[in-house]
Structure 1
């Protein structure tokens, strides 16, 4: 029995229920703010009612859970079966607002369903590009992911607008700092199970401190319903507008590039090679989940990069932990009061934990790049230029403001443009590489 247990890869390790729930909840808390941001932005931009907003949030969380279960546990050949939590892609926000404004929500969901089907069908062919991702490219992409996410943590800490009187206030700074201190102390001194909960302990401890300071508000909890079922096609039967579909196809193509980078990043952290077959299954899961999202009044789904850092921090690699996160997300989607409780965590607290999580992604990328050979080749130029262009929208967010809406989808995402450039430069300097023949 012990010999069999030794052969089980850490990602296939089944942990006790208490650990699955604790670690799974930690993942949910880390990604929750990003998960609900898209429906909030979309509803506000389109002037939807508060009831419609609640419907969108519930559907989003429920579909997030389904998408995560498909990716981690698999459905037949679909699903990468790695610890990858799924969330709404922010690349879809601008196109959805434009489509919704011009053609209504039914056109939004029609475009999403078609784009999901497109992704599902094209995935086996797109996955053949895996040979274009040698270590110099994957290490660069992982580093870019961490760098690009760091402004998210900073925004959580300081606030969205400098015109806000509370922007970067001492209270927000203290909450973030104390949360980060708790994460570090638990990670340093706690052992075993508790040590792996360092981010969760930081979030809980930071929220408790914030509550004592009067910075936690539970008004939304009392106003939320106990139970709310997710109704398919609540906005009506989907309609299919050609221009809207094309815009969403562009979004999903970008998502496939990002998902490829995220999958490779997770593979690096959990020490499991992401080959052509795995990547195809991963991208097909994105496509299937996006189709389901369109039917359930939700959105396009892809890997949530924020949670990659949590895997690196905790070193908990089991995909069943993330699958448990999926179940928790589905429960939150059905019970709005529980979702409202999670939403009460102050953003500075999330930001403090985010500094640690996103920093670990950067560190993982640097570790991978440390294994790359730089003598008598052009690898240093590949890394330098790719990270350099990825930093542009971070340093100057309005740099691409004169670009078309379609171009902005690619260029304003440091992850997307930096990843594409890394692949292109590697082909220019090192050739196409060898095709992975493993099926």
Structure 2
């Protein structure tokens, strides 16, 4: 074997393949920045000009963050095929702060959180030994399930609304899934990597025949749109008001760690958690910090595209480099964003359900390496799963608690990480006996051994 051979993650596909592959990543995740901006705009009653400004800023920053994670300069970014997006939970916290204290305070909270990432990261890196495969694998399962749930709502609509469960939306969502599967099954091997993109295009054409597309606004308004610096005015800083986002940043670091390990496994690249996860987190920190100055909430690494990498088998980080440039173009050229916004949510949801279910399957694949004959590992996984799944499956179960406690306990991913780490410490670190039989310990995966080699 020739050791000098370029690793697949570092290969640069020809432009004729790179553009459609990058576009495929963008089309799967485009609903997230669109819905994030529209949610903020509708909730806070922003003007059309501010909404357009935020849309431009969100796409451009997501694109720049994607380039940062993919290129990985100066230990800022993991050099893996990652896409960055506005986080769903931080958007809710941003809105809560803005409604209670004003948009300038919410902007200040985002900036403080970006700085907080850098301050806490050295301590967090020392705690990575408490994230063995049983904890990380369980986190990946919960991340995937949470994403599947939100994707399904893109098909069904929100419970309690008039359009919830509309038959034509359900039909379109299922048709999208079927089309993607058919393309993947029937296309020659060389074209399978773009089966998701072709499925989305075919489903959008089907939606047009059903009268479910709306491209009426394409071409209206300015062609070029650039974000405004500090669109809400000078930021205001208050540590107490910023506490929800500061608390979330800890959970975000844990999630980024799991995503880095998983991404490395999917592309077949050796990942040392203690060295590589901080690179991913630094990318999150700097983009979130920039986001605060342009009026967005936290911009964080997304697990959404990992399923695409797994489904297509295309491991090159330069594909997400292409996706990053496309995101920037969407942010600058308004008509492109308008076309993306015209894709029916049921099409995006049907695509995302497949992609995110693959993430769940990868979590199970990771857990297969855990020795569940050792009942300690069984208890760790079971308790972490229950803590993470309850707030996902029973929304609002913590509504009677104080706001800050509700934010932490209501995050399924955060609870999986925190409870998994605590259970791991209780069962595998406290009172550890040297004479304990070796067969009772978790078998060591390559990832675990890499982590221990650095500790």
Question: Scaled by the length of structure 1, what TM-score is found?
Answer: 0.94
**Aligned with 1:41 (options 39, 42, 51):** 39
Matched, 1:264 2:261: yes
Distance in structure 2 (CA, Å) of the matches to 1:92 and 1:396: 20
Distance in structure 2 (CA, Å) of the matches to 1:375 and 1:308: 30
**Aligned with 1:253 (options 250, 260, 269):** 250
Q: Is the 8 A contact 2:61 2:291 kept in 1?
A: yes
What is the SS of the residue equivalent to 2:296? Answer: coil
Q: Deviations over 1:292-315 (max 9, x none)?
A: 111222221212122222122112
Distance in structure 2 (CA, Å) of the matches to 1:404 and 1:307: 34
Q: Is the 8 A contact 1:19 1:193 kept in 2?
A: no
Written as runs of structure 1 = structure 2, the 5 A alignment for 1:21-170 is 21-164=19-162, 166-170=163-167
What is the SS of the residue equivalent to 1:95? Answer: helix
Q: Deviations over 1:322-348 (max 9, x none)?
A: 121111111111111101101111111
Q: Which consecutive unaligned segments of at least 5 residues does structure 1 have?
A: none
Distance in structure 2 (CA, Å) of the matches to 1:229 and 1:245: 28
**Aligned with 1:236 (options 230, 233, 256):** 233
What is the SS of the residue equivalent to 1:86? Answer: strand
Distance in structure 2 (CA, Å) of the matches to 1:173 and 1:31: 20
250-259 vs 211-220, which moves further: 250-259
406-415 vs 147-156, which moves further: 406-415
How much does 1:31 deviate? 0.8
What is the SS of the residue equivalent to 1:87? Answer: strand
Q: Is the 8 A contact 2:257 2:273 kept in 1?
A: no
Q: Deviations over 1:389-424 (max 9, x none)?
A: 222123211211112221222222212211222222
**Aligned with 1:412 (options 410, 415, 439):** 410
Alignment-derived partner of residue 358 in structure 1: 356
**Aligned with 1:207 (options 204, 227, 238):** 204
What is the SS of the residue equivalent to 2:81? Answer: coil
81-90 vs 252-261, which moves further: 252-261
How much does 1:437 deviate? 4.6
How much does 1:23 deviate? 1.2
How has the CA–CA distance of structure 1 residues 250 and 333 changed in structure 2, closer, same or farther, with 3 Å as cutoff? same
Q: Is the 8 A contact 2:91 2:298 kept in 1?
A: no
- What is the number of residues matched between the two proteins? 436
Q: Which consecutive unaligned segments of at least 5 residues does structure 2 have?
A: 431-447
What is the SS of the residue equivalent to 1:302? Answer: strand
Distance in structure 1 (CA, Å) of the matches to 2:175 and 2:250: 40
Matched, 1:315 2:328: no
Distance in structure 1 (CA, Å) of the matches to 2:242 and 2:152: 34
Distance in structure 1 (CA, Å) of the matches to 2:374 and 2:237: 53
Distance in structure 1 (CA, Å) of the matches to 2:324 and 2:66: 5
Distance in structure 2 (CA, Å) of the matches to 1:430 and 1:4: 38
Alignment-derived partner of residue 441 in structure 2: none
What is the SS of the residue equivalent to 1:60? Answer: helix
- Report runs of 4+ in structure 1 exceeding 6 Å deviation: 432-435
